[in-house]
Structures are given as structure tokens and as C-alpha cells.
Structure 1
Amino acid sequence: MKWLDSFFEKKTRQVAQSASRRSALVKVGKLFVGTAFILPVLPFDRMNPNAHAAEGKKKVDVDDETSCDYWRHCALDGFLCSCCGGTVTTCPPGTEISKVTWVGTCRNPHDGKDYLISYNDCCGVAQCGRCFCNRNERERPGYRLGVHNDINWCMANTSNTYNCTVAAIVGVGEPRG
């Protein structure tokens, strides 16, 4: 083991003769600053690591309007009106549809087409509290107000009390080609 000690002693002396403490600190500082800019752009998975564990076991019903797996609910964040006395496109009695909305593009598994879905909150009565869904497929950051689903969209109505959310088809995507 003496050879290992002498090797490291020799290398340490060479570095000490050719570099100052100040230059070593500058190099370490550059390394930290460079790392601070590179690490945030590296891809990483923000999802729950166990989120996909049971996918193969359960059968998804894309036609059940009271399920979060219903194909129109791909960008929905809130309570489903179909569980609260309304339907997938109509608000429950005693509520009014929000004057502002957010949109999402969902693929219908039956015909393979993409549909533009308008998500409108139903306002005026306390929260329904049933069938909560939080699907954020292709959601955009909060600074793009028109495509962000974490906002109380009842803000433009007389009553800004949120009850549930409907998902109405407003357009169909044209095939690319």
C-alpha cells in the first residue's frame, strides 16, 4: 500500500505547485454554476412511481360517463356532473354553466379521432363531492390561463361557487397528412 500513498502524494504535490487555492475555488464554482443550469433541463418523471403498477390488472371502461377513464375526461380536473345530478354535457338543476372555460383535446378510442373538448364548470351550488377526477393529459402550465384546469372558472358568474364540471365536444380534429 506504500505505492498508493506515494502515488497520491506525488499527484497532490504536482497540483499544489501548478494551481492556487483561488483557481481551485473558481473551477469548483464553475462546476456548481454549470450544474445548476443543466440539471433542471434533464428529463425526469414527476408521476407517482406506483401509478402504473395496477394498469394491466383493471379493465378500463372508456364509455362510462361516471368514470374518470371516460375518454372525454382526459383534461378534466374536478367533480363529474354525471355523478352530481347532471350529465356529461348538462349541469345539475340549480346550477348555471360557467361563462369561461378551458379546453382539451381528447382521442376517442372508438373512431381514433381527436376531439376538442370544452370543460365548463357548473356554478351556484356547493361542491358536489362525488366522482372527483384529476386528469391532466396535455395540460399546460398555469401562466397560459385558457388551457389550465386548476382555476375556479366560476369567477365570471354571479355565484363563484363551484359544483362540478361538464365536458362538451366543440370540434373534431382534421387528420394530418
Structure 2
Amino acid sequence: MLNNWLDKIAEKATRKQARHTSRRSFIRTFGIALIGVSVYPLLPVFRDNAFAQEPGNIPESGDPNDCNYWRHCAIDGFMCGCCGGTVSSCPPGTVVSDITWIGTCRNPKDGKDYVISYNDCCGKSACGNCLCQRDEGDTPVYRPQNTNNLNWCSGSQADVPYHCSLSVVIGVKES
């Protein structure tokens, strides 16, 4: 009985959609969806091995545990330097998330723009120290590739809690 009821609703919805949709329209929509799926990996989310290597000889000035430190221009979370790690390494007992948000920050010491990978360290409950929310370049959550308001730990291999955030320099912005 339930199957008949469900079948009738599905048939009615399908027939109604078929009356209002042409084959070309369906093929066009399907093609757009395929293109969207193929473009998704190009979104500005760094996925694999965000700790490739920090470029050497980056002139540093300021306190990495201060929210106004130049690398933190787009961070949102607890800074790992205050939680037992450093600006570019997770504290013991945590692991770096597999996906991350990318931003660009200007180093006042040399005037260059650097590409920064904001990684979440996952595996322990939230650190609670040195909360910093700077939103340069941030967009609303409905544009997830450009927002810093997501829990990037949820994209890790194991769904583990957020602990703190890193600001890893992964390159110099090319002009």
C-alpha cells in the first residue's frame, strides 16, 4: 500500500516535470552540472599536503601570538601558538585537517603578498586561548570556498573536533 502511494506521487511529479521540460533543456542542465562538478576541484581550497614547505628567508616581525600579526589577516579561530603549537605546526595530540582555506596577506617587513594556508588542527576540544577573528577576504558561508567560518576538521579523514588554527606561508603571490 505504501509503495503504491509513493509510486503515484513519484509518477505524478515526473510527468509534471516532463510536461514543463524539453530534452534540450534537460541536456543543457545536465551539461552545466557536469561542468560545475569538473570545476569544483579548482576552487581556492588547498586539499593535499598544505605543509609542503614554508619558503625560506621570510622576514618576520611582530608576535605570532598576537591577532594583528601579519599572517593572521584572514584567520578565524584560536591561534595554535597559544595552544602548545606554533604559527605553522599543530600542538601535540592534534592532527592537521586535510582541507583548508587559502588567503593572501601582505608582510609589512618586505612589502610582499604571501599566500597563507589556514589549517585547522583537529583531535582535541577547542583550545580556548588567543581567539582571533580577522575577516579580510572572507565571504558568507553560502560561498564555502571563500569563507573562514567553517569547521575544516569536518572534512578530515575522521570527523574530529576543532582545536586551533595555523597560518602557514605556502608561497609568494605572483604579480
Which of structures 1 and 2 has the bigger CA Rg?
1
Structural RMSD (CA): 1.5
Distance 2:125 2:173 in 1: 35
1:67 Cα shift?
A: 0.4
Q: Give the match for residue 117 of structure 2.
A: 118
The separation in 1 between residues aligned to 2:96 and 2:86, in whole angstroms, is: 12
Cα distance per residue 1:15-65 (max 9 Å; x no partner):
xxxxxxxxxxxxxxxxxxxxxxxxxxxxxxxxxxxxxxxxxxxxxxx6101
Over the matched positions of the two proteins, sequence identity in percent amounts to: 55
Which residue matches 1:165? 165
Deviation for aligned residue 1:138: 1.8
* Per-residue deviation, 1:144: 2.1
CA contact (8 A) 1:101 1:146 kept: no
Find out whether 1:109 has 2:108 as its counterpart: yes
Q: CA deviation at 1:68?
A: 0.2
Q: Return the structure number with greater relative CO, CA threshold 8 A, min gap 6.
A: 2
Asked if structure 2 preserves the Cα contact closer than 8 Å seen for 1:103 and 1:118, the reply is yes
1:141 Cα offset (Å): 2.4
Alignment of 1:3-152 (within 5 A): 63-152=62-151
Question: How many Å apart are 1:75 and its aligned residue?
Answer: 0.2
CA distance in 1, matches of 2:117, 2:149: 15
TM-score (norm 2): 0.63
Distance 1:88 1:168 in 2: 7
Q: Distance in 2 between matches of 1:147 and 1:101?
A: 10
Aligned residues: 115
What is the TM-score with the length of structure 1 in the denominator? 0.62
User: Which stretches in structure 2 are left out of the alignment for 5+ residues?
Assistant: 1-60
Cα displacement string for residues 54-102 of structure 1 (whole angstroms, at most 9, x for unaligned residues): xxxxxxxx61011001000000000000000000000000000001100
1:153 CA displacement: 0.4
Cα distance in 2 for residues equivalent to 1:139 and 1:145: 10
* Alignment partners' CA distance in 1, 2:134 and 2:173: 21
